[in-house]
Amino acid sequence: MTDIKNLETYDPFEDVQEETETKTKTSVFKPIHLRVKTRRGRKKITTIENLSSEFDLKMLLKEMRKKFCCSGSIVNDERLGEVIQLTGDQREPVAEFLVEEEITTKRGIKIHGN
């Protein structure tokens, strides 16, 4: 009787739950936050937060400055760690750049602001 597969109990979600539990224990998913702040009058600054430490931020900044024709810097924040700042409202181009370079997926990006 145990040779018949239909008579055994089977939980279709059992394997999925075990896989997701191990994934969440080993790596914590942090989305990349793109924010725009008003600097002075109509001037804007785009900040990129929660970039993984496995990436070379200097090289990323260099590529972004070339691609978006803007200036930028790496700022050390007490709460967030190292944050990339770019001049102008660069949220959409930065999001596309991060997806193209396979740094993250579209779901891994949170865009804040108007």
Say if 106 falls within a structural domain: yes
Q: Which domain holds residue 55?
A: 29-111
The answer to whether position 17 is within a domain reads no
Q: Which two tokens stand for residue 104?
A: 């993250």
- Whether 2 maps to a domain, the answer reads no
90 assigned to some structural domain:
yes
Whole-angstrom CA distances from 42 to 13, 36, 38, 88, 89 are: 52, 12, 7, 9, 10
- Token pair 């008003």 is at which residue? 38
Q: What integer pLDDT is reported at residue 64 of this predicted model?
A: 95
Q: What is the mean pLDDT of residues 83-109?
A: 94
Instruction: Please check whether residue 20 lies inside any domain of the structure.
Output: no
Does any domain span residue 33? Answer: yes
Enter the pTM of the model: 0.71
In this structure, what CATH number is given to the domain that contains residue 64?
Answer: 3.30.780.10
| Whether the Cβ atoms of residue 32 and residue 98 lie closer than 8 Å to each other | yes
**pLDDT tens digits, 11-68:** 666 665 444 444 444 456 789 999 999 988 889 999 999 998 888 999 999 999 999 9
What is the rounded (10 degree) CA torsion for 14, 17, 19, 23?
Answer: -170
pLDDT at 108: 93
Residue 71: φ, ψ to 5°: -100, 165
Q: Is residue 23 part of a domain?
A: no
- Asked if residue 91 belongs to a domain, the reply is yes
Number of folded domains that form the chain: 1
